[in-house]
Structure 1
Amino acid sequence: MPRAARLDSAHITPSAHYTGYVWYRHRLAEEPFVTAFGRLAHGLLAPLSWGARTAFGLDVEHLLLQRHLLIDALLREAIEQQGMRQVVEIACGLSPRGRRFCVRYPDVRYLEADLPPMAARKRLLLHEEGWLDSRHQVRPVDILAESGAHDLQTLFSGLNPEAPVLVITEGLVNYFELPVIESFWARLAAELRRFPAATYLTDLYPDLREHPRYRQLRWGIDLVGRLTRGRYYLHYQDDAAIARGFSGCGFSAVRLHDPKEVAAAPQDAWPALVRVVEARV
């Protein structure tokens, strides 16, 4: 992987602090997940968020909550109806999902992973609160690493290879150009085939050019790119293209979910901008 592409992975961390505060604001996270930077960033961006909501009908927090609550609902279904007991959340940032699900499901093993600096911070947070144990752990990973101590093979090596596994990425894939993220998906699918059954859940913002709020979405993602010192890419132009893309990366079954499936998620009058992909190997 070229060095320039590898550096892109460092752009994601600032948004982790912002979303961490959003989860807390909406009672999805406990106070230890809030950072001073996250609180400051949310306050500084409040006027911009208000302007986008008022002028364009684009509510950034609604978009974040839609994807987060939909992934939660699908994870609950996997645990309660399919018996899933191993969960890996890559690019976990300051997501409170691992904490919430470990409390709710005492027999689930939850492994969180992120770039080494973010993983160290998350591990310290959980340790200081007494939440880190043999069931709930944090490890470093670099999704662009094709080998070495931080690659996917190392991350999955500590799991039970005879039990199914579910992998989550949230707020990750649109930070990368499509060829880069498809390379990650292909390597992920190869790793998941080592398990008797495996599911991958990820949010994805497609390039829905016919959407009535497409221009507003472009404005919003350009803002996100500037704030994270990178770019924010839209992948695929429709649901069929998404399914073909994931199939081409080695996933045998692909199902797309709309936030309107979850009553608790904020609902808008127009079609959803985000999808949650449920892909199986």
Structure 2
Amino acid sequence: MSPRTRADSAHISPSAHYTGYVWYRHQLAEPAFATGFGRLAYGLLKPLVWGVREVLGLDLEHVLLQRHLLIDARLRAAIEQGGVRQVVEIACGLSPRGRRFCQRYPQLQYLEADLPAMAARKRLLLHGEGWLDGRHRVRDVDILAARGALSLQALFADLDQHAPVLVITEGLVNYFPRELLEGFWTRLAAQLARFPQASYLTDLYPDLREHPRYRQLRWGVDLVGRLTRGDYWLHYRDQAEIVAAFEGCGFRRVAVLDPEHDGAGLGLPDQGAPSLLRVIEARVP
């Protein structure tokens, strides 16, 4: 597998540091999550982000907040209304979600996972602040591993398979071509089928060619690819294709959420145009 199709830690970590600093700026994360590299990257990219917003009307930081806050909202609902007591956040990067939700919900078991280099950094951060314990853990995983110590099967092995579980990936799936992505979803659905109730939350940027800002989206996609030294893939033309893809991988009851309609209570200003982002909530069985 070539380096451009296999997302390694050197590939994704720059964006993890940048988004970690965005969460901190918006009071979604404690100072420990704001790394020096993240602060530097944010400062260097600030003129570019401003230019994209002013010239093209595309607010990249707003999109990041949309996805993060909408996933948070769906996770809260799953815990408070759906009885979820264990959460697995794959490709956790420098996300502060595990810390915030463990503080808010003392009954919650939260397992974060990432490629070994990123997981080690996250583990060190949380341990240094005294936040790791029996409820909040970090494990190594490679979503492309079909078997072995880094596989999904190994990751889920020590969860309570008699209790509901919710899995999150944020800022991950568009780094993979469709074949690899759907292979991951198929393996994930197979693991989730072992639980009495299981759901999956992820963000997704579809190939919305009829979108009024499609040209800006394509430009932004090319920019992300250059900044992360890899490809950034757009999948699926519409909601029907998204639902069909998830169902083909073994998921059921697939909801495709648009932040402009399903995130009205997120506290973000109206951008005056349809969102480029979708958040998917899929269930097994």
Please give the TM-score of this superposition, normalised by the length of structure 2.
0.96
Q: 1:182 and 1:155 mapped to 2: Cα distance?
A: 19
Alignment correspondent of 1:81: 81
Deviations 1:181-239 (A, max 9, x none): 00000000001001111000000000000000110011111111000000110000001
Q: Distance in 1 between matches of 2:61 and 2:269?
A: 9
1:135 counterpart residue number: 135
Contact 1:6 1:144 (8 Å CA) reproduced: no
Among 270, 274, 277, the alignment partner of 2:277 is 274
Shift of 1:164: 0.8
- Superposed, 1:1-281 pairs within 5 Å as 2=1, 4=3, 7-10=6-9, 11-260=11-260, 261-262=262-263, 263=265, 264-281=267-284
Report if aligned partners of 2:4, 2:231 keep a CA contact under 8 Å in 1.
no
Structure 1, unaligned runs of 5 or more: none
Q: Which one-letter code corresponds to 2:8 in the other structure?
A: S
User: Are the equivalent residues in 1 in contact too, given 2:176–2:233 (CA < 8 A)?
Assistant: yes
Contact 2:192 2:198 in 1 (8 A): yes
**Do the aligned residues in 2 keep the contact of 1:69 with 1:265 (CA within 8 Å)?**
no
Quick one: structure 1 residues 102 and 48, their matched pair in 2 at CA, closer, same or farther if it must change by over 3 Å? same
Shift of 1:103: 0.3
Q: Tell me, in whole angstroms, the C-alpha distance in 2 between the residues paired with 1:119 and 1:6.
A: 20
Deviations 1:57-89 (A, max 9, x none): 011100100000000000000000011001000
Q: CA RMSD in A?
A: 1.0
CA distance in 2, matches of 1:123, 1:138: 6
Q: AA paired with 1:277?
A: I
In 1: Cα distance, 2:271 partner to 2:236 partner: 22
Using the aligned pairs only, state the percent identity: 69
Give the Cα–Cα distance (whole angstroms) in 2 for the partners of residues 6 and 62 of structure 1: 28
Please state how far the C-alpha of 1:158 moved relative to its aligned partner: 1.1
- Give the drift of 1:258: 1.3
Give the whole-Å Cα distance in 1 for the aligned partners of 2:103 and 2:259: 25
Residue 168 of structure 2 aligns to which amino acid in structure 1? Answer: I
Query: In structure 2, how many angstroms separate the alpha carbons of the residues matched to 1:150 and 1:247?
Result: 25
| 1:88-108 deviations in Å (ceiling 9; x for gaps) | 000000000000000000000
Q: 1:4, CA displacement in angstroms?
A: 4.4
Which whole-Å CA distance do the structure 1 matches of 2:135 and 2:74 have between them?
20
* Paired residues of 2:18 and 2:39 also in contact (CA < 8 A): yes
Task: Give the TM-score of the pair, scaled to structure 1.
Answer: 0.98
Cα 1:121–1:66 shift into 2, 3 Å: same
Runs of 4+ in 1 over 6 A off after TM superposition: none
Q: Using the alignment, how far apart are the partners of 2:138 and 2:246 within structure 1?
A: 27
**Equivalent residues of 2:254, 2:282 under 8 A apart:** yes
Measured in 1, the distance between the counterparts of 2:145 and 2:270 equals 38
